[in-house]
Structure 1
Amino acid sequence: MSCRRSEALASSLVTEINLAMAKLVDIWDSIGIMEDQRVERMQTVKKHIDGLLHSMIMEEEALRHRIKTDIFTSQKQLDTLCLELALEPYKLEEGLTVLQLEKNLRCHVESLQKEKDDRMRELNDLSKRDEKLCVTLCATPYYIPTGSVPSRSQLQELQEHVEKLNKEKEGRVKVFSGLREDIKCLMDEMGHEPESSLEKDSICPDADIFLLTHDNIKALKLLLSQLEMKKESLISAKDKLKERATSLWNRLSCPEPEGEAFREAAMSTLSDDIRRWRGIVEHLEEMQMAQLEVVIDKVRQELVVLWDKCMFGPEQREPFDIHFCDETTEELLAVHDEELLRMKAVYETAQPILEDLEKWKRNWAFFQEFERKAADPARFSNRGGSLLRESKDRAKVQKLLPKLEEELRGQVEDWENNKSTPFLVYGQRVMDFISGQWEEHRQQKDKEKNERMTKKAETSQFKTPTKRPLGMMCAASTPTPKKVKKTPSQLAPRSATASAGSSTSSTSSSSTFLCVPGRPPLSTKRNKTAESSAGPRTPLQEFNSDKKPVPMSYTDFTSELSRKASFDAFLNSTVRDML
C-alpha cells in the first residue's frame, strides 16, 4: 500500500511539472518571448529543479549515512555496556530495515545506559557512606575497582558491608558512651581532676572528639581500670585511716565530743573524705603522744589477744619480749604498732585454719567431757532421757572429729606449700599438736585405769572376811544342782608363782566363804589381780619407759578401742557403748 502511494506521488509530481511547464509556455506565448529566450528560461527552470532535487538527494544521502553511523555507534555502545554490566552480548534481529535496526539499538542502549547510571549513582552513595564509616571506625573500605561498573551482587555486598559498619558503629558508640560515663562518674566520685589529654578528652562533652577505633576503646578501658584501681586504693587508704582512727579512739578512750567525727556523714568525694580522716588521725596521734605509757600498755594487751587467737607458743612470743620494757618512747610505740599490724595480717591470713582448729578444740572438749561422763556410774539414772541424748551427741562428735582432722590436714598442707614454712600452733605443727592431744588423752585413760586396778587390788587384798550365819554355812555344805559359771581366773592360764599364791589364798579362805551360794571365792579376785599385775605391761608403763609415745589420731585411737576384750587390749566406756 505504501509503495503504491509513493508511486502515485511520483506520477503526480511528473504531471504537475508538465502542467507547470505548459503554463510557462502559454505565458511566454502570450508575452511573445522568442525561442532563444524560452530556451534560456527553460534552462533556468531546469536548473532550479535539478538543484532542488540534488539538494534533496544529498540530504537524504546524509540521513542514510547518519543512520548507518548511528547503528554502528549504537552497536559499539551496546557491546561496551554489555561488557561493563556483565551482560550477554545483544543479538540483532533479522529482516529489519535500517531505521528499525537503528531504533532498536538506540532504545536498548538507552536502557543499558540507564542501568549503568543507576548502578554508578548507588555505588557513589554507598561508597561515600562506607568511606565515612571506615574513617570513623578505622576500618577497611569495601573494594570495588575504580572506573568499573559494579554488578548487582557487588552492590548488594557493599550494602551489607555498610549495614554491618552501621551496627558496629552503634555498638561502639554505646561502648564509648558507657566508658566515658563511667570514667566521668569515677572522677566525680574520687574528686579527681583530669591530668592527661586522654582524661580530658574522655570527659569532653563533644562526642565526635574520639574516633570509634579499637585502640581508643582499649585506651578508655585501660583508663577506666586505672581509675577503678585508684578508687580501690583510695577506699583502702580511707578504710585504713578510719581503722587507725578507730583504734586510736578506742585506745585513748576519747570523750564523746571526739567521737562526733566518726558519726559525721561522708564527704562528697573520696579525696575530701580521706583528707577529713587524715586530719582526725593526726589529731588522735597528737593525743596519743601525750599518753604514751597508757597507749603502749593497751597495744600490748591487743598483742596478747592476737597471740592467743593465733595460738602462738612461748617460743613464738619470745622474740618480742625484749620490747616489753619500762621505757616509753615513740620508737617503742612504732615497734608495737608494727608488730600489731603484722599479727593482724598473720591472723587474717591464717583465720580459716584457726577457726577450724577452734572448732576441733571445742569438739575435742566435748569428746573428753563425754569420756569423763562415761566413767561416772550416776549417768545410768537416765532422768529425762539424758543418757540417750548423751549417746547421740557422743556419736556425732566421734564422727565429726576425724572429718575435721582431715580438713585441717588438707588446709595446712596447702598453706605450707604456698608459704614454704610450717604452720605452728603452740610451738608445734598442727597435726603434731592433735596427735599429742590424743596421746595425752590415751595416757590419762591408762593412768586412770591403772589407778582403778591398783585400788581394786588393794581393796581385795586387805578386806576382812565377815562372819556368816550358821545356816548359810550349813546350806553351803550341800551340793547345789545349778551350774557354777567359771571365773576368768579359772579359765585363763596362770604362771607357777601366781598359781601357788592363789592356791594358798583359796585354801585359807575356802573354809569361810565356800558356802556362799552364787558368789565366786575371794581367791578368784586375788588371782585376777595377780594375773593383771603379772601380765602384759599397761600403756602407762609403756609411756614411763624409754620409748617415746607414738603420735596418734582419732582413727588410731578408735581402732585400738574397737578390738575385742582381751588381756592385751583395754576397753573404756566408749567401746562398751559401741559394742
Structure 2
Amino acid sequence: MGSRRSETLASSLVTGINHAMARLVDIWDSIGIMEEQRIERMQTVKKYIEDLLTDMISEEESLRHRIKASIITTQKQLDTLCLELSVEPYKLEENLTVLQMEKDLRCRLETLQKEKVERLRELNDLRQQDEELCVTLCATPYYIPSGSMPSHTQLQELREHIKKLSEEKENRVKVFSGLREDIRSLMDELGHEPETSLERESVCSDTDIFLLTHENITALKLLLSQLEMRKVTLISTRDKLKDRATSLWNRLCCPEQEASEFKQEALKTLSDDIRRWQNSVDRLEVLQKAKLEEVTEKVRQELLVLWDKCMFGPERREAFSAHFCDNHYTEELLALHDHELQKVKEFYDTARPLVESIEKWERHWALFQDFERKAADPSRFSNRGGSLLKESKDRAKVQKLLPKLEEDLKARVEAWEMNQGTAFLMRGQRVMEYIAKQWEEHRILKDKEKNERISKKAENSQFKTPTKRAHGQANSGVTPSKIRKTPSQSALRTMTMSGSSTVSSTFLCVPGKPPISAKQKVKTSEAGSGSRMPLQDFNSDKKVNSISYSDFTNELSRKADHDAVLNSTVKDML
C-alpha cells in the first residue's frame, strides 16, 4: 500500500513538473521569448530542480549514513553493557529496516542503562548497610570488586549476607541486653562499683559504644560468671559470719533485747550485710575474751554432741583429748576448740546422709531386738484384742526391711569411702564389721538363752513323773505302753548329742488334745510296743529339749525335713 502511494506521488510529481514546464512555455510564447532564450531559461529551471533534488538526495544519503553509524555504535554499546550486566546479548529480529534496527537497539540500550544505574544505586545502599553491620559485629564485608558492575546473583547474595548479619546482630543485642541486666543486677546486689573498662561499658546506658563481637560477648559471660562466683563467695562469707555471730551470741547468753540485729532482714547489698555481721562478730569476740572459761566449756559440750552425732570412736576423740582436758583457758585454747568444732561440723555436713542411714538401721535393729525379746515372753499368748497379730506383722516388716537397709548402707559406705579416700569408722569400727558383730552377738545370745532353757527344762524333768491316760481309755489304772523309738527320732537324738546347733527336737506344750500327727504316732507305737503311754517316759532321768514359740514358728517356716519332730507328746530318747 505504501509503495503504491509513493509511486503515485512520484508520478504526480513528474506530471506537475510537466504542467509547470508547459505553463512556462505558454508564458514564454505570450511574451515572445525567442527559442534561444527559452532554452537558456529551461536550462536554468532544470539546473535549479536538479540542484534541489541533488541537495535533497545528499541530505537523505547523509541521514542513511548517520543511521547506519548509529546502529553500529549502539550495537557496540549494547554488547558492552550486556557483558557488563551479565545478560544475554541482544539479537535483532530479521527483515528489519535500518530505521527499525536503530530504534530497537536504541530502546534496548536505554533500558540496560537504566538497569545499570539502579544496580549501582542498590549496590551503594547495600554496601553501606553491610559496612555498618560488619563494623558493629567485627565481621568480614561481602566482597564485590571495586568499579565492577554487580550481577543479579551478587546482589542477591549481598542481600542474604546483610539479612544474616542483621539477625546475628539482633541475637547478639538480646544476649548483650540480658548479660548487661544480669551484670548490673549482680553489681547492685554485691555493692560492687565498676572498675575495669569492660565493667563500665557493660553497665553504660549507651549501648552503641560496645561492639557486639564474639570476643566481647564471651568477655561479658566470663564477667557474669566471675560476679556469680563472687556472690557465692560473699554469701558463704556472710553465712559463716552470721553462724559465728549466732554461735557467739548463744555461748555468751546475750540478753534477748540485744538480738535485734539477728532478727533484722538482710541489707540491700551483700557487702553492707557482711560489714554488719563482721562488726557483730568483732564485738562478740571482744566480749568472749572476758568469758574464756565459760565459752570454752560450752564449745566442749558442743563437741561432745557432734562427736556423738558423727559416731566418733575413742581413737578419734583422743586426738583432741590433750586440748579437751586442758584447764588453762586462753584465747589460743579457745581457737583450737573452735577449729576442731568447725572441722567436725564440716565432716558431719559431708557424712550426714550416711550417718542418717546408719541411725535408721540402728532404730530398726533396736525394734528387731525388741521383737525378739517379746517373742521369748510366754505371757504374750494371753493377749487379747489383736495386738499379737499386729506385733507379728510389724516383726515381719522389720525382718524384711533390715536386709534392704544393710544393702543400701553398704553401697553408701563404699561410695563415701571411694569419694573421700578413707574408711568410715562407726564408733571405731568399720560399718559393715560393726553390723556383722551385732548379728554375731545376737546369735550367741540366742544360743545362750536356748541352752539355758534346755538345761532348766532338763533339771525340772528329773523331779516330775507325769502320767497321761491313753486316748479314749477309762480311768482303770492301766498304764499305756511306751512309744517305740522311730528311726527318725534316733537320728535326731544322735545329732542332738553331737552338739549340732542347727537341728534339735522341738516341743510345743499346748494344753488339750495333742496334734493329729502325734495321735497317729501314739497309735502306731501302741500297736508295736504294748500299752506304754508316751508321757510315762518323763518319769525317766533323760534330758528334754524345749524351745520358744518363735523358734517353733521359725522351724515351721524353714519347712524342716522328715527328721524334724514338732510334737509335744514325742520326745528324744537318749
Please report the TM-score for the alignment, with normalisation by the length of structure 1: 0.79
Q: Which residue of 2 aligns with 1:507?
A: none
Q: 1:24 & 1:192 partners in 2: Cα distance?
A: 123
- Is 1:230 aligned with 2:230? yes
Gap change, CA 1:380 and 1:15, over 3 Å in 2 = farther
Paired residue type of 2:6:
C
Q: Do 1:363 and 1:401's aligned partners in 2 also have CA atoms closer than 8 Å?
A: yes
Q: Which residue of 2 aligns with 1:455?
A: 456
Q: Do 1:248 and 1:285's aligned partners in 2 also have CA atoms closer than 8 Å?
A: yes
- Is 1:7 aligned with 2:10? yes
Paired residue type of 1:168:
E
Paired residue type of 1:344:
K
Q: Which residue of 1 aligns with 2:194?
A: 194
Paired residue type of 2:388:
L
Identical residues among aligned pairs (%):
62
Q: 1:460 & 1:280 partners in 2: Cα distance?
A: 79
Gap change, CA 1:488 and 1:242, over 3 Å in 2 = farther
Structure 1 position 569, deviation (Å): 11
Paired residues for 1:114-513 under 5 Å: 114-324=114-324, 325-461=326-462, 463=463, 478=478, 480=480, 484=483, 491-492=490-491
Q: 1:566 & 1:152 partners in 2: Cα distance?
A: 99
Gap change, CA 1:521 and 1:570, over 3 Å in 2 = closer
Q: Do 2:465 and 2:536's aligned partners in 1 also have CA atoms closer than 8 Å?
A: no
Q: 1:488 & 1:458 partners in 2: Cα distance?
A: 27
Q: 1:467 & 1:136 partners in 2: Cα distance?
A: 114
Q: Do 1:489 and 1:528's aligned partners in 2 also have CA atoms closer than 8 Å?
A: no
Task: Provide structure 1 residue ranges, at least 5 long, that are not aligned to the other structure.
Answer: 469-473, 499-513, 533-557, 572-579
Gap change, CA 1:303 and 1:57, over 3 Å in 2 = same
Q: Do 2:458 and 2:543's aligned partners in 1 also have CA atoms closer than 8 Å?
A: no
Structure 1 position 411, deviation (Å): 1.1
Compare 396-405 and 112-121 and name the one that shifted more.
Answer: 112-121
Q: 1:342 & 1:561 partners in 2: Cα distance?
A: 53
Structure 1 position 211, deviation (Å): 1.4
Which whole-Å deviations, capped at 9, do the CAs of 1:222-245 have from their partners, x for residues lacking one?
111111111111111111111111
Q: 1:570 & 1:334 partners in 2: Cα distance?
A: 70
Q: 1:229 & 1:235 partners in 2: Cα distance?
A: 10
What is the aligned residue count?
515
Structure 1 position 160, deviation (Å): 2.6
Structure 1 position 528, deviation (Å): 3.6
Paired residue secondary structure (1:383): coil
Which whole-Å deviations, capped at 9, do the CAs of 1:58-91 have from their partners, x for residues lacking one?
5444322221111011111222233333333322
Pick from 538, 557, 569: which aligns with 1:522?
A: 538
Q: 1:158 & 1:306 partners in 2: Cα distance?
A: 72
Structure 1 position 7, deviation (Å): 1.9
Q: 2:264 & 2:230 partners in 1: Cα distance?
A: 24
Compare 339-348 and 375-384 and name the one that shifted more.
Answer: 375-384
Structure 1 position 357, deviation (Å): 0.3
Gap change, CA 1:45 and 1:7, over 3 Å in 2 = closer
Q: 2:15 & 2:139 partners in 1: Cα distance?
A: 79
Structure 1 position 364, deviation (Å): 0.1
Compare 169-178 and 11-20 and name the one that shifted more.
Answer: 11-20
Gap change, CA 1:443 and 1:140, over 3 Å in 2 = same
Q: Which residue of 1 aligns with 2:572?
A: none
Q: Do 2:201 and 2:209's aligned partners in 1 also have CA atoms closer than 8 Å?
A: yes
Paired residue type of 1:410:
A
Q: 2:28 & 2:135 partners in 1: Cα distance?
A: 90
Structure 1 position 382, deviation (Å): 3.1
Which whole-Å deviations, capped at 9, do the CAs of 1:422-458 have from their partners, x for residues lacking one?
1101111000010011111111111211222222222
Paired residue type of 2:172:
R
Structure 1 position 141, deviation (Å): 2.7
Q: Which residue of 2 aligns with 1:506?
A: none
Structure 1 position 164, deviation (Å): 2.2
Q: Which residue of 1 aligns with 2:549?
A: none
Gap change, CA 1:158 and 1:467, over 3 Å in 2 = closer
Q: 1:11 & 1:79 partners in 2: Cα distance?
A: 46
Q: 1:491 & 1:447 partners in 2: Cα distance?
A: 25
Paired residue type of 1:113:
Q
Structure 1 position 322, deviation (Å): 0.1
Gap change, CA 1:207 and 1:17, over 3 Å in 2 = farther
Gap change, CA 1:283 and 1:16, over 3 Å in 2 = farther
Q: 1:368 & 1:436 partners in 2: Cα distance?
A: 14
Q: Do 1:561 and 1:570's aligned partners in 2 also have CA atoms closer than 8 Å?
A: no
Paired residue secondary structure (1:526): coil
Paired residue type of 2:535:
R
Task: Provide structure 2 residue ranges, at least 5 long, that are not aligned to the other structure.
Answer: 469-473, 498-529, 547-552, 567-574
Gap change, CA 1:568 and 1:488, over 3 Å in 2 = closer
Q: 1:221 & 1:327 partners in 2: Cα distance?
A: 54
Structure 1 position 475, deviation (Å): 5.2
Gap change, CA 1:44 and 1:115, over 3 Å in 2 = same
Structure 1 position 292, deviation (Å): 0.6
Gap change, CA 1:490 and 1:443, over 3 Å in 2 = closer
Compare 514-523 and 259-268 and name the one that shifted more.
Answer: 514-523
Please report the TM-score for the alignment, with normalisation by the length of structure 2: 0.79
Paired residue type of 2:249:
W
Gap change, CA 1:96 and 1:124, over 3 Å in 2 = same
Q: Do 2:465 and 2:539's aligned partners in 1 also have CA atoms closer than 8 Å?
A: no
Q: Do 1:489 and 1:527's aligned partners in 2 also have CA atoms closer than 8 Å?
A: no
Paired residue secondary structure (2:142): coil
Q: Which residue of 2 aligns with 1:93?
A: 93
Q: Do 2:457 and 2:544's aligned partners in 1 also have CA atoms closer than 8 Å?
A: no
Q: Do 2:492 and 2:564's aligned partners in 1 also have CA atoms closer than 8 Å?
A: no
Q: Do 1:314 and 1:427's aligned partners in 2 also have CA atoms closer than 8 Å?
A: yes
Structure 1 position 272, deviation (Å): 0.7
Q: 1:197 & 1:151 partners in 2: Cα distance?
A: 45
Structure 1 position 115, deviation (Å): 2.8
Gap change, CA 1:451 and 1:266, over 3 Å in 2 = same
